[in-house]
Amino acid sequence: MNVFNSIQAALILKPQESGGGYKFNGQVVMTKSFVMEFGDLAEEIAINALIKVIIKRANSPEGADYLQVLSYEGTIFWIIDDVSVVTILLPEDY
């Protein structure tokens, strides 16, 4: 299994509170603590998480809420779309 498939398999997209019209296609930034938490895999996790959100939520009939909650190997993180910037962060960064 390649890195992409193993990360995709380990990412869990949590239920969202409501649908919406967010596309998650703005400039992507990661907080320092997100990068420190995931180390060398931070970018791969971020990219794979965005792909999962776009495919499963943004392109679905229900649509995507501005806040998406995911976990990777037990660590919960958020992706927030404020239209121009998509921020990937740990909850304690908020």
Instruction: Give the β-pairing of 67-72 and 85-89.
Output: unpaired
Q: What is the pLDDT of residue 52?
A: 96
When pLDDT is averaged across residues 16-32 and rounded to a whole number, the result is 96
- φ, ψ of residue 17 to 5 degrees: the values are -70, -35
CATH number of 30's domain? 3.10.450
Query: At what angle are helices 42-53 and 3-10 packed, to 10 degrees?
Result: 60
Q: How many domains does the chain have?
A: 1
Q: Tens digit of pLDDT for each residue in 33-79? A: 999 999 999 999 999 999 999 999 999 999 999 999 999 999 999 99
Give the whole-angstrom CA distance, residue 1 versus residue 19. Answer: 33
What's the domain range around 72? Answer: 3-93
